Structure 1
Amino acid sequence: MELLNSLFRPGVGPQAFTPEATIQALLDVEAALARAEADVGVILPATAEAIAAHCRVERIDLPRLAADAAQAGNLAIPLVRQLTALVAADDAVAAGFVHWGATSQDILDTALVLQLRRALAGIAADLDSLIELCAERCAQHRGEIMAGRTWLQQAPPITLGLKLASLLDALLRQRERLRQLRPRLLTLQLGGAVGTLAALAPHGLAVMEQMARRLDLAAPDLPWHSQRDRLAELACWSALLCGTLGKLGRDVSLSAQTEIAELREPEQPGRGGSSSMPHKRNPVACAVMLAAAARAPGLAATLLTALVQEQERGLGGWQAEWETLPDLLCLSAGALRQAEELLRGLVVDSDAMRRNLEASRGLIMAEAVTMALGQRLGHARAHLLVAECCEQVRRQGSRLADALLGHPELISLLNEDALHTLLDPDKNLGAADALIERVLRHYREQTDG
């Protein structure tokens, strides 16, 4: 629904796929086809320019085009009909060379690639911004200690910097994947009826090369009418990105729960309100990222299913791509914008993090104690005895230090000062800082490179 574009699809995505942008992309391909044919002598340069002069979306009757597409089965057929009529009004001879030697899928596929290039330029820029911001916040909160959590339960301590470094690491992989797939994706489609370029013989390959040059696209080794892996690869990348951002949304929303209150979305007037509960501040950005992550796998699956196309031209599978891939790209772009807004204004409550570290009365450090005792008792025995002490803490509401020091088998093995160090979260962060530095170094190398 267009009414929800500002929520789910902010950014460049919808702009690349408006009706006007779609038709202009189709016309750009038709103009490039005519000019490429003139480049190699298939038609006269004056004929090509007569065609190109009318390849402007404002000259097309869009409502009539949409109605005619319902009968024709695609947009290209009625568009070529309108374009031919426009050219014929000025040059009847040139009108006979509109769409010369091409098939509808050539025009539709290449136009889609042009739109994807436009959308990906914006998405790549937003991804770069998010990565830069994530690196800044990672460095800013590098030593900010908090409880790690596994299966939604407290586990040994980590730092907020490490949590953000994990996100940064995933985003860096996403950027690298995008850089790798772009050259494969941004490829011309031109093959004629069955991919042999027979209608343009003996100039077919030359026209293809010139057309690719004019559109600044790669010329394929051969047409890809029924080999759709390029588009499916982009769909999978988009789903991976949405999943990565959904993970961010999930973690922040869990940390924003009233009982935890460690992280919150940016505070803005009217943001996250409730129609019935005046006190509410709902995590809007998290909701959008999670919604995109929920929808993206199904949309990507449609593109994967569409890979199985019939012979030299798909029936149904090709058509299934038309709305699905743009929608997926728009959702990805929207989730990126929301993620950037979230990270830029993320509210971090250090006091709540420290308070939650103390909530387990020392149980959060049970692993550190077990590993220290395991050097003298063996891991299995140490694990059993520390587990007994943990159960006592849960049952009696005492502290782990008291339970350990009161255990008849452990009291002789525990030095009170050493135990204090083992139970200090700040002194049991392992290689967290070194791991953060590894990711930040990778960020600097990838960004500078």
Structure 2
Amino acid sequence: MSRGELFDPLYGGDRVAARLDDTAWVRALLAVEAALSRAAAAHGVVGDEQAARIEQAAAGLKIDPAELGRAAVEGGNPVIPLVRLLRAAAGEAGTSVHPGATSQDIMDTGLVLLVRSATEVVLDDLRGAADAAAALAAAHRDTPMIARTLGQQALPTTFGAVAAGWCAGLDRARGRLAEVTAALPVQFGGAAGTLAALHPHGFAVADGVADLLGLARQDVPWHTERTRIGELAAALGIAAGACAKPATDVVLLAATELGEVSESAPGDSSSMPHKRNPIAAITARAAARRAPGLVATLLAAMDHEHQRAAGAWHAEWETLTDLLRATGGAAARLRVSLAGLQVHPDAMAADLALTAAGATGPHHAGEIVDRILAGRPGPGQAGP
């Protein structure tokens, strides 16, 4: 997965990428450590003054991600050297840093924070793309066009029915992604997932961390029980697929031989000035096509050994953030495509007349539009 100033804007991933960069990772990990200190203090595990000093140290700690990355090589994750730096910065309170936790607690909870932040952008663009599709459906409820099955002319439909179908898929995918993301919990289990180091306060501290960070509470530690990550991967993959469908249709309908739609800001060619490429839809497809492989990697990495995985856990971090970039990029570029999509009813009528298939009317297509638009979630609602 490419990332950076050259390719992120092209694939639409720049807004999501800004919430997933190395600095965001460091901020998330420090936020978890600060919340852990405060939650531990609330149950007498550490002193209130110590927790305040740790929180202050975390807020003021300046960390070079490149240096932290080099320091992380020895232990296999960045939390180990980060804790050393935070302990040094906290002075006498340093002995109270990271109470009862293991590195995976901080990494997993930090990752959940990043997912929540990045998914806000993805959900916004999915909603924007769905709203644009809904507007097209309403405006062209009765605009006749030919439906195509197996690449051939079939029976009449309306462009409104086509766009309403796009809208339904995007709304459904958005709703599922919102549901899965909201349910992602804090992770706190200690060295072997038993909360032994903070007995009898382990679950109370875990709940306190969740509340402070605005995350769902865990039922039990999930160090090597990765169904949540699998569900998230699947939801992101489905959302990418929901974006790929209308993007593919736009590319096909914008072909010179059809000319039934066009983007408001088509891309040009370096060698063929006559071309008007539907580039937003094209790059939405490009971003979405990266998603299935990333989903497969995350699903294949669910077989965590015993109480701490040796490699499968480590494979999740960049794979999941790359998947967020891919799905976010697909949603962002599709939103641009659909928001400015120009519909050409004359071309649709001409294509409709090419075969006898267009002789009958598009019966019930308008009812499909009405049914889909009436069932859409309102503002602030996740999905159907």
The answer to whether the superposition gives a TM-score over 0.5 is: yes
By percentage of residues, which structure has more helix?
Answer: 1
Give 1:281's aligned residue.
Answer: 276
Q: Secondary structure at the match of 1:16?
A: coil
Contact 1:23 1:57 in 2 (8 A): no
2:267 to 269, 272, 275: 272
Give 2:217's aligned residue.
Answer: 219
Measured in 2, the distance between the counterparts of 1:246 and 1:61 equals 38
2:202 to 201, 204, 207: 204
Distance 1:447 1:56, change over 3 A: closer
TM-score by length of structure 2 reads 0.94
Measured in 2, the distance between the counterparts of 1:445 and 1:277 equals 44
Measured in 2, the distance between the counterparts of 1:430 and 1:446 equals 31
Give 2:163's aligned residue.
Answer: 164
Measured in 2, the distance between the counterparts of 1:220 and 1:53 equals 27
Task: Describe how 1:328-407 pairs up with structure 2 within 5 A.
Answer: 328-360=323-355, 362=356, 364-365=357-358
1:151 aligns with 2:150: yes
Distance 1:447 1:161, change over 3 A: farther
1:433 aligns with 2:369: no
Measured in 1, the distance between the counterparts of 2:365 and 2:163 equals 12
Give 1:73's aligned residue.
Answer: 76
Measured in 2, the distance between the counterparts of 1:429 and 1:345 equals 26
Number of aligned residues:
379
* TM-fit CA distance, 1:57: 6.9
Give 1:124's aligned residue.
Answer: 123
Give 2:182's aligned residue.
Answer: 183
Q: Secondary structure at the match of 1:7?
A: coil
Give 1:137's aligned residue.
Answer: 136
* TM-fit CA distance, 1:343: 0.9
1:111 aligns with 2:44: no
Measured in 2, the distance between the counterparts of 1:311 and 1:57 equals 37
Measured in 1, the distance between the counterparts of 2:98 and 2:380 equals 43
Name structure 2 gaps, 5 residues minimum. none
Give 1:404's aligned residue.
Answer: none
1:302 to 294, 297, 304: 297
Contact 2:177 2:236 in 1 (8 A): no
Give 1:408's aligned residue.
Answer: none
1:240 aligns with 2:235: no
Q: Secondary structure at the match of 1:8?
A: coil
Contact 1:11 1:337 in 2 (8 A): no
Amino acid of the structure 1 residue aligned with 2:135: E
* TM-fit CA distance, 1:262: 0.7
Contact 1:135 1:443 in 2 (8 A): no
Q: Secondary structure at the match of 1:72?
A: coil
* TM-fit CA distance, 1:340: 1.1
Distance 1:320 1:153, change over 3 A: same
Tell me the percent identity. 42
1:21 aligns with 2:14: no
Q: Secondary structure at the match of 1:192?
A: coil
Amino acid of the structure 1 residue aligned with 2:198: L
Give 2:55's aligned residue.
Answer: 52
* TM-fit CA distance, 1:358: 1.6
Give 1:321's aligned residue.
Answer: 316
Measured in 1, the distance between the counterparts of 2:64 and 2:131 equals 44
Could you list the per-position Cα deviations for residues 385-437 of structure 1 after superposition, in whole angstroms to 9, with x for gaps in the alignment?
Answer: xxxxxxxxxxxxxxxxxxxxxxxxxxxxxxxxxxxxxx3x4xx2121111111
RMSD: 1.7
Could you list the per-position Cα deviations for residues 116-141 of structure 1 after superposition, in whole angstroms to 9, with x for gaps in the alignment?
Answer: 11111222222222222221111001
Distance 1:334 1:160, change over 3 A: same
Distance 1:204 1:447, change over 3 A: closer
Measured in 1, the distance between the counterparts of 2:54 and 2:203 equals 21
Amino acid of the structure 1 residue aligned with 2:100: G
Amino acid of the structure 2 residue aligned with 1:97: S
